[in-house]
Amino acid sequence: MALSALLATLLCTVVLPVLLFLVAVKLWEVYLTRGSDPSCGSPLPPGSMGLPFIGETLQLLLQRRKFLRMKRQKYGYIYRTHLFGSPTVRVTGAENVRHILLGEHRLVSAQWPASVRTILGSDTLSNMHGSQHRTKKKAIMRAFSREALELYIPVIQEEVQAAVQTWLARDACVLVYPEMKRLMFRIAMRILLGFEPEQIRTDEQQLVEAFEEMIKNLFSLPIDVPFSGLYRGLRARNFIHSKIEENIKNKVQESEKGSKHRDALQQLIDSSRKSGEPFRMQGIKESATELLFGGHETTASTATSLVMFLGLNPGAVDRLRQELREKAEQGMDLQNLNMEVLEQLKFAGCVIKETLRINPPVPGGFRVALKTFELNGYQIPKGWNVIYSICDTHDVAEVFPNKEDFQPERFLDRSFVDSSRFQYIPFGGGSRMCVGKEFAKVLLKIFLVELVSSCHWTFLNGPPTMKTGPTVYPVDNLPTKFTSYLPK
């Protein structure tokens, strides 16, 4: 009797709950895959939908790139999953990605996860479509024209030089990633939003912390309850909005007096007035927050990767310094950079491209299927999310031999560059290609010039482990010792 009672207890407390859980998972899988279109003869992509309601979101958030590689190895270049509250198809490979990027408005439409849309807002470029998207993109592109970039260069060089001198003056190690975020944040606040240096110094610590909190919770489950990721992200976003609103009001007052600003935020304010529509403070704040996110988070990630790859490849540093010496001997003024000089730094451009190949700061882009369509033998059902993978597409690109090696010189071959379309997509592609890519290239080149001209550096923890969340960064923040470089 005692044994029977023990078995019954074991069945009720362990075996039965496990069986019920497995049945629930199976029913969840069946329920979601019923969303396939019976009129389409192709099957759904292989894959798994994870746990009920939360899908595989937690695995992605915890494992990031390891999770993505594991899924790709198991299911191939196209597979289904369930992320951030929605059934999703993840797409890798140049030809597959080409169909998605060129299928904008016909097959797919840009749509980020619900948590991103909620935190960033509906008036952001990434969440707009059709004529609204074109109008806003045109306004922002004026702030990234060649003429505008020329005006930004002295401010960027001033900020980078000040940061580098601060690192050299420290006896202790420098945590590179946090320092890069602060540097790029200051540059973005001045150039993109028109903040004065005094304003930034006053609010910098609070703003940086708020931005950290917002970005950390940008990709979270769409549940707005106290202490949830979405709740914390929204609180941080609201603080950032309050500071940006103060600046917008000052800009509006000054422009009414005839003052002229040359930053991206002013372009958006002017565009809003020219459209004849009522001035919407919330819309301008959301656009400014998106600019700040795109203008500093991704560049901070790439600048950190530049320090890492160059520190691990001293031959590339030597070649950069040689290029700078040759330009100086030709009479170019590297102390006062301009667009003409930057454009002639070909190897510096290759170093940036190779860094973006191995460590693209943004791992992918989000779309939603406008109708059921076929992709490489599989059906993508209407309404499902589609993620095209940047990092995985770079990983599998056949055009890159010796993929694991840092070889900037591969980009010196023009024919190679032309053949790599859709195999190399660090800025996305199609009509949604990153509007600030030229700004990022200018900023990163200036950073490279100042870094290799002034510094030697040594990693205190050795080669770092990289993680994604939401952009690529070193887990240990890359502790580094900087010392002065004196040319021979």
| Positions at the binding site for heme | 434
387: left (phi over 0), alpha (psi -120 to 50) or beta: beta
Instruction: For residues 103 and 97, give the distance between their C-alpha atoms in angstroms, rounded to a whole number.
Output: 10
Task: Write the CA distances from 104 to 77, 131, 411, 432, 433, integer angstroms.
Answer: 20, 14, 29, 8, 11
Instruction: For residues 464 and 479, give the distance between their C-alpha atoms in angstroms, rounded to a whole number.
Output: 9
Which run of H or of E encompasses 17?
A: helix 16-33
Helix (H, G, I), strand (E, B) or coil at 5: helix
Residues that constitute the known binding site: 434
| Phi–psi pair at 46, nearest 5 degrees | -65, 165
Q: Nearest Cα to 90, choosing from 50, 150, 124? A: 50
Which tokens in the block code for residue 35? 């969303």
Residue-wise DSSP of 50-117:
-BTTTBTHHHHHHHTHHHHHHHHHHH-SEEEEEETTEEEEEE-SHHHHHHHHTTBTTTEEE---HHHH
> Please, which residues have CB within 8 angstroms of residue 195's CB and are 6 or more apart in sequence?
189, 247
110: left (phi over 0), alpha (psi -120 to 50) or beta: beta
| Residue 163 · residue 471 · CB < 8 Å | no
